[in-house]
Structure 1
Amino acid sequence: MNQLLEAKSSGYDVCSIPIKTIYENNNKGSHFRPILDSIRIYLPIIKFSLSSVSCGIMDLIVFFLLNWLTGNLIVSVIGARIISSVSNYLMNKNLVFKAKNYLQSKTLVKYYGLAALIIISNYFLLEFFTNTSNLSLFTSKIFTEGILFIFSFYTQRHYIF
């Protein structure tokens, strides 16, 4: 998986090619360990999810803390997003994808372009949900983050990393 991600970020096209599977001797020579090998395969996905969830929780806590301290929605959204996005970028770069330094400037610009778009979308979606739908700020925040999580995952997967 890491090779595929590295190939994609280096500009290579990635495609699948069907192959015929042939088992010799009913696959008695296989060294596949279902549990350990499955963990190794899914570990990057698990790490990405944990990174996203932990930074999402951080964003939620900082958002409500800043909103309580300032009473200002835009300050709360931007402040929470700055803190959580720096943490998320560093976790994804160093722990999840283990990106090389030569990729840093390329991924950093794309990542923060996405972060800027998400900040703007976050503010306007929160304004929309709280003012037109009469949802509580908590419900609006959870709903907004769910929408933006899906958008962010798709964008990071296909365009950033």
Structure 2
Amino acid sequence: MIVLIPAYKPDNSLTRLTHQLTAHSENIQVLVIDDGSGSEYTPIFTELTLTGATVITHPVNLGKGAAIRTGLNWARIYQPRQVVVTADADGQHLVRDILRVGAHTATHADSGKHSLVLGVRTLPDNAAQGSGTVPVRSKVGNALTIGFFTLATGTRLADTQTGLRGFTPQMIEWALNIPGDKYEYEFTMLLRATRAGVNLVQVPIVKVYEPGNPTSHFRPVRDSALIYAPLIGFLASSFAGFLIDAAALFTLVALGTPLLVAVIAARIISALANFSVNRLMMRDGAARPSPGNSLMRYATLAVGILAANAALLEALMTLGAHLAVAKVLTEAVLIPVSFAVQRRWVFLPARTPQREERTAPELQLSKLSGASVEEEYTGRRY
């Protein structure tokens, strides 16, 4: 088993975790990716190599997603038959939980299934000595991403932000093709996994947090924007469609067009634009369904949304709501419904992991056995 740990400016938590892993079994290969931490942290990584860990160094900080791909690429080249378990460098994952995820991953590797094993933080905080209180930002962030993930995929996970993940050898090539260099990489991976028919296996683990979570490099605004990009893009597209729809509706009603006719005409105008935009956005890099199938499904959805739109507008206006207020309330209800149906049905690709024609960069390694490993990039930077 390879334990892959991306690290950026780590503290002694990484040293402690590496010592524990290497001391546990000689069958555990610890692979640490120094993601451009700088010369100040060289002593820490040097100590790791003395314990038997392999260290790959990025000359500059590329991001967690890029660091994970570097490690997966190393595993693909040098240990292609080994399962890979990713763990965080900040001490949030206990050795016993890493081993449990590794054991589950090995079982699924033997079965030949396309599986991604997730260590989900569901066990009580006091299940581990020294575990701290879960930070508010982590609670809120996880709740938001769970809600979005469920809405987008129809699959409910107990923890969408976990960094403890197990990859079977069959999944490594697939994971190398997931886009994103920062924190969005891991969330995008989950979105694509559900759309590719990957089996998501949840293994309960202990919640462990250091007070104040001091070693986290997560930037709430910037990194959250990257994580929620699919939803933000859809909302932007929907808002543009809403403006087109509303402008046409108000114009037609002002000209004396009956409400039902005005609603239908306005929706047809906005739907034509939305279909083209959303078909690209919902792709998530997977193989697209045929345009004909997508268009038929989209038309079916549009008819349903149209009927619901007209019914809700009529009901709200009957209750005395102004047309503008009724329109906003109606769209607030129907946009999430439309988003979920489009992702889960209208633009759903074939449910098999797709191998994309993209060559991962070669790793040029100066040393492999316990010493620090420097990486030089050739071809496409990732």
Fold match (TM-score > 0.5): yes
Runs of 4+ more than 6 Å apart: none
Judged with a 3 Å threshold, the aligned counterparts in structure 2 of structure 1 residues 134 and 158 are, in CA distance, closer, same or farther, namely: same
- Deviation string, structure 1 residues 107-137 (Cα, Å, up to 9, x no partner): 332222111101111112222222x312222
Kept after mapping to 2: 8 A contact 1:59/1:84: yes
Aligned to 2:294: 107
2:340 is equivalent to residue 154 of structure 1: yes
Q: Distance in 1 between matches of 2:336 and 2:195?
A: 20
Pairing 1:1-80 to 2, within 5 Å after superposition: 4-9=190-195, 14=200, 16-17=202-203, 34=219, 38-80=224-266
Quickly say closer, same or farther: Cα 1:102–1:149, change in 2 above 3 A: closer
How far off is 1:46 after superposition? 1.7
- Structure 1 unmatched runs, 5+: 22-27
Q: Does 1:123 align with 2:310?
A: yes
Task: Return the alpha-carbon distance in structure 1 between the equivalents of residues 192 and 339 of structure 2.
Answer: 17
- Tell me by how many angstroms 1:62 deviates: 1.3
How many Å apart are 1:67 and its aligned residue?
1.7
CA RMSD of aligned residues (A): 3.3
**Aligned match for 2:327, one of 141, 154, 158:** 141
Report the Cα offset of residue 51 of structure 1.
1.0
Distance 1:109 1:14 in 2: 30
Match of 2:308, as an amino acid? S
Percent identity over paired residues: 33
Question: Could you say if the C-alpha distance between residues 44 and 144 of structure 1 is closer, same or farther in structure 2, counting changes exceeding 3 Å?
Answer: closer
Q: Tell me how far apart the structure 1 counterparts of residues 307 and 194 of structure 2 sit (CA, whole Å).
A: 28
Contact 1:77 1:123 in 2 (8 A): yes
TM-score by length of structure 1 reads 0.72
How many pairs are equivalent? Answer: 156
Q: Which amino acid aligns with 2:331?
A: E
Contact 1:55 1:84 in 2 (8 A): yes
Report the Cα distance in structure 1 between the residues aligned to 2:275 and 2:325, rounded to whole angstroms: 26
Point out where structure 2 has 5 or more consecutive residues left out of the alignment.
1-186, 208-214, 348-382
Summarize the Cα distance change of 1:119–1:158 in structure 2 as closer, same or farther, 3 Å threshold: same
Secondary structure (helix, strand or coil) at the match of 2:228 reads: helix
The aligned counterpart of 1:24 is: none
- Contact preservation (8 Å) 1:93, 1:99: no
* 2-structure distance, mates of 1:90, 1:15: 34
Change (3 A) 1:98 1:117: same
Map of 2:275 onto structure 1: 89
* Secondary structure at 2:251 match in 1: helix
Distance 1:88 1:14, change over 3 A: farther
Q: 1 or 2, which has the higher strand percentage?
A: 2
